[in-house]
Amino acid sequence: MAVSRRELLKLGLLATPGMSLAQLAEAQIKDPGSPPVFPFTRALPIPPVLTPGGGPPSQDSYTITMQQGMANILGTRPTPVWTYNGMYPGPTIRARANRQVNIRQINNLSESMSVHLHGGHAPASSDGHPTDLIAPGGQKDYTYPNQQLPATLWYHDHAVDLTGPHIYMGLSGFYIMSDTLEDNLNLPGPGPSTPFGNDIPLLIQDRLFNTSGSLSYPMTDDALVRGVLGDKMVVNGVVQPFFRVPRRKVRFRLLNGANARIFDFALSNGQQFIQIGSDGGLLSAPAPRSVIRLGPAERADVVIDFSSLNLGTQITLRNLNRMVPHSLDRAPRDIMRFEVDRNETDTSVVPATLRPVVPLGTEVRTRDFILTRGVLNGRVVWFINGLLFDDARIDANPTIGDIEIWRFINNSNVSHPMHIHLVQFQILDINGVPPGPGENGWKDTVIVPPNGVLARVKARFTDFTGTFVFHCHTLEHEDHAMMAQFSVTP
């Protein structure tokens, strides 16, 4: 009897995107380890900003093509990747609040795709539902009204059962929103010579490579539990780059684009970050933090002040977290290096007040979602309320305008970064502890720690009716099949 690709995925037999079903069924995945790379020998690339073209003058319109490409990730040998417009990461979209963006996505890859604007507040038809697929050779038009608070968002593939390998192959990019209020704060920002200036996006991922330079995606039993972990730190498509910075304040937009790794970001000289934003935009006030934890898909906007450092100073952005015991986690602590190489006039500020985060009102109901692990046909699977994802089932049905509390209870022994589409929420507490500075802003993803921990979030469901999903953003959990649906009704 023929076995569908989706059934093979449920059995954990996925190896490398593009393999035939016969190869998948027979695959015995082995992890050879990535080839050696010398750190801090290549400069940080910054994904270029895409220029809009065509369409109504009151809107910004783009065309993006999903296609195969080659990337110089390792610096020693090329890596085949899947790209947006031939770039890994994909091109950056710069958007303005309340100005509509239209994107035509063309799929020139061999598998069906769905593009999700992560953190975006968009109609269900443009949300990138995992079963709303673009077939190979097909295209789809996405509409983003941008009627939301500006924030560091990102777009990525969201195809059902295949999100993990598709993102691993390169399908992700930044979507950065701004508005007049943020412009007037005089934060470190774009400069006259480049679209980024001193406002730098950092897509941080871990990856494993074969000796040939190709990406290795080992779907082992351990990967089904912890998610796929790499042994190389990749920033904006380059392993452990360096970045030359001026003696002044610089804004960095940290995005954890890993499939499964949780990062504890810190600076090697012990200096504090000044966090100014989280998933859903600016905080009420700056939050000095020595360590910032981000799970997959979480973001943090930070300012690092290099003005007190001498020319020639080198400091590294480090990861203090280990997902597995030190003897088994081969990923280096150092992610990238900052090199202070010049003086530069700095008139920017980090004001004491950024954008007030107004608490949501009284909830109309509370819903519970219990997160557990199980075994199906001898392979690990992941449940929400004892159920695998089923696109024929609706698991919650808020009415438009409702405010609800969602309680995530993690009865497994690994963390789950839970992501809700459509909304930005506020964390009420995790195991009864209210969120601290930096976590008390608008969020769309929350890490739920293991072993019975309860996390409560509150959200308002506004503007758009239709069917949306929520899921664990450890992508191997999502694909196997820790995802559910909610329907917003009039």
**What is the pLDDT at residue 436?**
96
Question: Are residue 303 and residue 161 in the same domain, yes or no?
Answer: no
Question: Are residue 127 and residue 223 in the same domain, yes or no?
Answer: no
Q: Report if residue 473 sits inside a domain.
A: yes
Domain residue limits at 275 = 199-343
What gap in Å lies between CA 83 and CA 73, rounded to an integer?
13
Q: Report if residue 35 sits inside a domain.
A: no
Residue 454 pairs in a beta bridge with 409
Q: State the virtual CA torsion across 429, 432, 436, 440 in degrees, nearest 10.
A: 10
Question: Are residue 171 and residue 208 in the same domain, yes or no?
Answer: no
Q: How many domains are contained in the chain?
A: 3
Question: Are residue 156 and residue 18 in the same domain, yes or no?
Answer: yes
**What is the pLDDT at residue 327?**
55
- At residue 221, the 3 state secondary structure works out as helix
Q: Peptide bond preceding 396: is omega within 30 degrees of 0, i.e. cis?
A: no
Given 184, 207, 223, which residue is the final one in a domain? Answer: 184
Q: Report if residue 352 sits inside a domain.
A: no
Q: Tell me the CATH number at 122.
A: 2.60.40.420
**What is the pLDDT at residue 152?**
98
Q: Report if residue 114 sits inside a domain.
A: yes
The residues of the chain scoring below 70 in pLDDT are 1-33, 191-195, 325-328
What gap in Å lies between CA 69 and CA 47, rounded to an integer?
15
Q: Report if residue 239 sits inside a domain.
A: yes
**What is the pLDDT at residue 349?**
97
Q: Give exposure, 291-317, as e/b (b: 16+ Cβ within 10 Å).
A: ebbbbbbbbbbbbbbbeebeeeeebbb
What global pTM score does this model have?
Answer: 0.94
- Chain-centre distance of CA 477, in angstroms? 15
Q: Which CA distances in Å does 257 have to 110, 218, 308, 442?
A: 23, 18, 31, 19
Question: Are residue 90 and residue 233 in the same domain, yes or no?
Answer: no
Question: Are residue 180 and residue 237 in the same domain, yes or no?
Answer: no
What gap in Å lies between CA 236 and CA 219, rounded to an integer?
24
Here the tokens at position 163 are 């999100």
Residues in the chain: 490
**What is the pLDDT at residue 28?**
30
Question: Are residue 203 and residue 316 in the same domain, yes or no?
Answer: yes
**What is the pLDDT at residue 421?**
98
Question: Are residue 120 and residue 238 in the same domain, yes or no?
Answer: no
Q: Report if residue 56 sits inside a domain.
A: yes
Are 92 and 154 contacting, i.e. CB atoms less than 8 angstroms apart?
no
Given 184, 213, 232, which residue is the final one in a domain? Answer: 184
Here the tokens at position 313 are 């100073």
Question: Are residue 64 and residue 176 in the same domain, yes or no?
Answer: yes
**What is the pLDDT at residue 55?**
84
Q: Report if residue 322 sits inside a domain.
A: yes
Question: Are residue 232 and residue 297 in the same domain, yes or no?
Answer: yes
**What is the pLDDT at residue 195?**
67
Here the tokens at position 168 are 């691993």
Given 156, 184, 212, which residue is the final one in a domain? Answer: 184
Question: Are residue 218 and residue 330 in the same domain, yes or no?
Answer: yes
Question: Are residue 331 and residue 299 in the same domain, yes or no?
Answer: yes
Q: Give exposure, 319-333, as e/b (b: 16+ Cβ within 10 Å).
A: bebebeeeeebbbbb
**What is the pLDDT at residue 192?**
56
**What is the pLDDT at residue 54?**
83
Sequence-distant (6+) residues with CB within 8 A of 128 are: 114, 115, 116, 117, 142, 158
Q: Report if residue 391 sits inside a domain.
A: yes
